[in-house]
Structure 1
Amino acid sequence: MGIFEFVANNIYYTVPIPVYVAVLVVLLCQVFRRIFISRRPSIMESTPLAHKTSDLSHYILKSDSCPALQVTPDTTYSWRDKPQEVPREIKPGKYFLTMNIRKLDPNDYIIFDERFLSEYRERQAIIENVGPGKIFVADPSDGGALDLCEETLVVTVDFLVTRYPSMFRKTERGVFCIDAGEEYDLVTRPWSRHPLEITCLLSGEDHILIRCCDDGTLRVAAVGLVYSLNIDWRSFIGKELGSIHKDAHVPFYESALQKSVDRYFQKLPPDKLISRANWLTQVGPELRNDNFPDKYLELVSTLPGNTITPETIVNDLYIRVERQAMRKLPSTNGVVFKFRVYATNIWDLEQEEGIPRRFADHIRGLPEPILRQKHCLECADCILKAMDFMAEQQEKEKFMNSYD
């Protein structure tokens, strides 16, 4: 008699009855849990066609602050005393394609500096001029897209009133931005402002909200892009993240990174924050700017009497950096991809110790497709001349100071 046949014939003797009971209880708990969750209303239920007070306001105004994150309040924080610190996550040497992400301290999820109020007003002006309908867009075919927008607002407000009580405070109907002197209504429906508009204004950052689909893909569900170039982002709504990178001609993404990125964000826990930095080049200091050097040179080359060359364009060249932060939303299971934009004139890099040399070595290690994607292929040689010059000046000054 085989072992399996013996166990089958003597199952009632070999397995105690309490084990059957325990298994049955576990199965019943799982069934009831699934039924309960499927019928439970969202804490951010929205009714765009009728005025009402939703559960969102109760969640923001009554809940414990930042339940998923360990955030330390900074009661004396003053953005006026904080100089702008641009991330320079540049690696000299040979280029290696990686996600290049790192763990982010929850206290640094949103940061402010001396440009807070000026950028806040600038964002307001851009929104009024361009129109919020072209900047803040949610997928109309995705019934949960608005929930993603609302939960993003929840976690943003929750963080701000906890981390920066000297700048933001809760009110009976929402949140008050103390330095701007403005209160945002988070109670009345339909929304007087798109929830992503409030999020982008208060945080000073642009947002892309991504749906983690059951088939393992990531799809863009909503965008709030104030500073992110003067193009129509509505065509990106509903598309797979991989398809967007493909349309944008991001080198090597589809072949080397897409599966890893999709899998990583599907498994990302809500209490883990990550960050990375990205850079490219632009002409002029405006943050809402699509004057890329290669396209700009191509455009002005057709103008009569044009004297702009790759050499002369360097004086007007700015390094555009995105400080990116990502997290998983605890309720809707979407991904928040947000970023703050900085623009630094290339010659101002001389004020940053060691950066010109690192940038020069970094650019020399980049393959041609990456230089093209960063819009600096046409003027890369001129950029290197400027970087090398600044690096030599810094090194001479350091050498002279060592003898003082």
Structure 2
Amino acid sequence: MQAFDLVSQNISQIIPIPIYVGVFVVLLFQVFPRIFVAGRRSIVQSTAGRADEESDIPSSIYDRDPSPSSLVTPDPTFSWRDNPQQVPREIKPGKYFLTMNVRKLDFNDYIIFDKQFLSEYRERQAIISNVGPAKIFVAEANDAALDLCEETVMVTVDFLVTRYPSMFRRTERGVLCVDAGEEYDLVTRPWVRHPLEIICLLSGDDYILMRCCDDGVLRVAAVGLVYSLDIDWTPFIGKDLASIHRDARIPFYESAIQKSVDRYFLKLHPDKPVSRANWLTQVGSELRNEKFPDEYLRHLSTIPGNTITPETIVDDLYFRVERQAMRKLPSMHGVVFKFHLYATNIWDLELEEGVPRRFAEHIRGLPESVLRQKHCLECVDGILKVMDLMAERQEKKTTNSQD
């Protein structure tokens, strides 16, 4: 004991008190935080996996969705009858670069309605009835895919009854679509209707559901695409994003953004949806129509006496726009990819200030491969002629109003 006291006295004489304090401060503010962050990073990467950053990744795939009241602002006076269509026009003039072009989406706008709600609801209902749900709603034959569909229904209904209480109401057995006068059973098992059928009707959107498999890759588990009847989606089930885009022959996808897309989808949050827009061209206004101009022109060329040309077909040309939204599901390691379709006649773009000029400059910057992918390569000269004409009219009208 005396020896210990003697050593302590000697140490205290050699190392002054301020040095002790200095060492403690260094440990407190420099070393300990680094150890903590490094440990947290290893935990996040082991649970979320395949991540470059930890800041946007939930610590567990079983994170629960915050209550709707904390994310959604109820709009009890909302009327879809008074809400005009808001077609996204995310058009970038100039040289073409393939990007994700993803934007943050206000949670209140995750599902929106306009004056076409009831007519599109009835149309989608008729399509499902005539074609049969089995040809529209396809899913993996396992419990994981069904759980994914069920959770998507529950979070979608939760959003609808909270955001639009005048349009959707809870009932003892499910949810009531007030304007359609139709109740959907969410209790009975097995389901009376396919879960995807319910949300495709209630939200007016089409859906692709993906789940994160054991290898850490997102793969398509279920689809509900009411307006894409001409496409057999069965081969897409079980495929990852890279395979889908490769099969669809999306130009520059693999070399430009494939890795970024894979990382981005894995980092999505339940409470932070994102959106983007995409456009194609089609002949005719029907949303379920997939009569693409290039293919249609080639078909017409085989018909004797045909008078429709790449120039004349432009009058019946429509821009088919997808308003896409993505979010992670709260309790399953799955992702919802949904989209709403709009069709606008090329001549109606003159009603949108500045759009014809921007669209013309955008199209002029597209490479041939992208024009082919958007099905308008063969009639692009006619499109540009119409766009330039409308742009000149708009600019002349603006000049006259200023004078």
TM-score range, shorter chain: 0.7 to 0.9
| SS of structure 2 residue aligned to 1:378 | coil
- Identity %, equivalent residues: 76
For 1:125 and 1:95, the matched residues in 2 are separated by 40
Contact 1:65 1:159 in 2 (8 A): no
**TM alignment of 1:87-106, pairs within 5 A:** 87-106=88-107
What is the deviation of 1:263? 1.1
Partners of 1:108 and 1:118 lie apart in 2 by: 21
Does the CA-based 8 Å contact 2:177-2:183 persist in structure 1?
A: yes
For residue 55 of structure 2, what is the aligned residue in structure 1?
Answer: none
1:365 maps to which residue?
365
The 3-state SS of whatever aligns with 1:160 is helix
CA distance in 2, matches of 1:172, 1:72: 24
2:201 aligned with 1:204? no
In structure 2, C-alpha distance between the alignment counterparts of 1:214 and 1:105, rounded to whole Å: 31
Asked if the contact 2:329–2:335 (Cα under 8 Å) also holds between the matched residues in 1, the reply is yes
| Secondary structure, aligned partner of 1:144 | helix
Question: When the two structures are aligned, how many residues end up with a matched partner?
Answer: 349
- Asked if 2 retains the 8 angstrom alpha-carbon contact of 1:217 and 1:240, the reply is yes
Matched-pair contact (CA < 8 Å) for 1:136–1:194: yes
Q: Aligned runs of 1:41-120 on 2, under 5 Å?
A: 65-66=67-68, 70-120=71-121
- Distance 1:314-1:229 versus aligned 2 partners, 3 A rule: farther
Conserved? CA contact 1:216–1:263, under 8 Å: no
Q: CA deviation at 1:217?
A: 2.0
* CA offsets 1:218-243 (integer angstroms, 9 cap, x no match): 21100000013522211211112211
Q: Deviations over 1:25-73 (max 9, x none)?
A: x9xxx9xxx9xxxxxxx9xxxxxxxxxxxxxxxx9xxx98527x61100
Letter in 2 for 1:279: W
CA contact (8 A) 1:229 1:287 kept: no
Tell me the distance in 2 between the aligned counterparts of 1:321 and 1:369: 19
After the TM superposition, which parts of structure 1 deviate over 3 Å for at least 4 consecutive aligned residues? none
**Cα distance in structure 2, aligned partners of 1:214 and 1:382:** 50
1:122 and 2:120 matched: no
Name the CA shift for 1:99/1:64 in 2 (closer, same or farther; >3 Å).
closer
* CA distance, structure 2, for counterparts of residue 229 and residue 389 of structure 1: 35
Contact 1:134 1:233 in 2 (8 A): no
Q: Do 2:279 and 2:374's aligned partners in 1 also have CA atoms closer than 8 Å?
A: yes
> What residue is the counterpart of 1:242 in the other structure?
242
Residue identity opposite 1:100 in structure 2: N
Secondary structure at the counterpart of residue 260 of structure 1: helix
Root-mean-square deviation (CA, aligned residues, Å) is 2.3
**Do the aligned partners of 2:66 and 2:271 also contact (CA within 8 Å) in 1?**
no
User: Which aligned pairs between 1:5-404 and structure 2 lie closer than 5 A?
Assistant: 65-66=67-68, 70-140=71-141, 142-403=142-403
> 1:72-115 CA deviation, whole Å, 9 max, x = no partner?
00010000000111110101111111100000000000000001
Residues 281 and 320 of structure 1 are in contact (CA less than 8 Å); yes or no, is this contact kept in structure 2?
Answer: yes
Aligned mates of 2:66, 2:128 — CA distance in 1: 32
Residues 126-178 of structure 1, C-alpha deviations (whole Å, 9 max, x = no match): 101111001111111x4300111111101110000000001001011100010
Alignment TM-score, normalising by the size of structure 2? 0.83
Matches of 1:115 and 1:361, distance apart in 2 = 30
Q: SS at the partner of 2:196? A: helix
